[in-house]
Amino acid sequence: GRAPDADLLSAARAQAQDVITLWGVRYLMLLPPVPGRLPYADTWQASQQTALDLIPHSDSSIIDDGTIRIYGVEPGKPLPLSLDFGGENTELWRAEGWDRDEPDVGGANGVWATGKRAHLLFRSEDGSPRTLRFRAHMFTCPGRVDQYVTLNLNGQDLDLLYFFPEWETYELAITPRPGVNHLWFEFERLDRPRDCFNQALIGKTGVQSPVNIAVHAFDQAFITLTDASGNPTDASFGRRGYNVTLLDEKTGRVLDEQGFDTVANGYEVERLVSYLDQLPAGRIVILATREGAGEFVTPELIAALQRLGSSVASPDQLAGKAHALVGVVGAGPGAAAEKIAPADAYLEVSGDFRTLAAAFDFLEIK
């Protein structure tokens, strides 16, 4: 490993204080390593010193028997609490049901609630009444107008609120319990931008790709597929010339990958034409050239590409060029998503798989 820089240590020190305050940590315990258990066994002195440097603790240990040392820790005041979603790292207070902090969620930095129940944690030192205040707006999906949310604190419903399409500030009285509290935002529904806005449509075909597709044709040929869980798949055959990937139009499953070295000779072009001509109508086809399409482009290849939706009309438009295409067999000329460039062609067919309920700008408990 390497020594952390000053900025990283500073951020870690601030985060350590937040953790201590949220969970009410009272003690720092330093334990000896288990002999032979790496990596702690060979770094424990440095690890313990880093902990002492980052975590505020008592000047002297409460217990020190020569192997175990325990120091006192004083948590900060947990309330009032102010969270600027998107403007700072708020993951510590957000449990399940949230996405990442973002710089722009409808004109303000913030975070999306992505679960039907979005869970927030905070600590109170007593049971005194408090005021909860936050700013939010619903995710607007065409044809879906209402978004209601039930606020629940520690298993007790607080209120039923209507979220508007525009930013709105909400305020209500709460009575937390001493210790860690659980605040839930329970939404009526979730919507996917991918479905609401017909994202990931393949060119003008009207067909929505079931996976996100990125195609990069240059001196390499990259075809990357990403599913709804965010898992990427390298789907390029990786050969010089044309790389062809065939997808199931309903599931996005890769049915076949082939490579044709159309840079080498005309025979490879003939093989490519024969392969494309036998593909069944409706299948999703992805093309990416590596080191260009080659100089052996024929009218027969142009016709085969047009069947996939290519707009190319003559061999000279394509010969020697980088070519990236996502098409549908039988779609007709000009319907595909396509890029042709002298040396570097890139295109994406993608959409937002997330389920969204509402965006939050800030939250305060005073």
pLDDT at 211 over 60: yes
Q: Which of 1-10, 39-48, 224-233 has the lowest mean pLDDT?
A: 1-10
Which residues are within 8 A (CB) of 103 and not within 5 positions of it... i.e. 6 or more apart? 86, 109
- CA dist 221 and 15 (Å) reads 42
Q: How confident is the model at residue 87 (pLDDT cuts 50, 70, 90)?
A: confident
Q: What is the pLDDT of residue 1?
A: 57
Provide the whole-model pTM.
Answer: 0.85
Q: How confident is the model at residue 21 (pLDDT cuts 50, 70, 90)?
A: very high
Rounded percentage of the chain residues whose pLDDT exceeds 70: 100
pLDDT tens readout for residues 254-274: 999 999 999 999 999 999 999
pLDDT at 11 over 90: no
Residue-range domains of the chain with CATH:
6-72 (no CATH), 81-194+356-365 (2.60.120.260), 200-349 (no CATH)
240-251 mean pLDDT = 98
Which residues are within 8 A (CB) of 107 and not within 5 positions of it... i.e. 6 or more apart? 167
Average pLDDT, the chain: 96
| Per-residue tokens: 6 | 């000053």
Q: What is the pLDDT of residue 17?
A: 92
- Cβ atoms within 10 A of the Cβ of 194, count? 20
pLDDT tens readout for residues 109-156: 999 999 999 999 999 999 999 999 999 999 999 988 889 999 999 999
Nearest to 123 by CA among 67, 70, 81: 81
pLDDT at 180 over 70: yes
- Residues 17, 21, 23, 24, Cα dihedral to 10°: 120
Which of the pair, 88 or 303, is modelled with greater confidence?
Answer: 303
Output the CA torsion sign for 171, 174, 180, 181. negative
Are 155 and 117 spatial neighbours (Cβ–Cβ below 8 Å)? no
- CA dist 232 and 211 (Å) reads 10
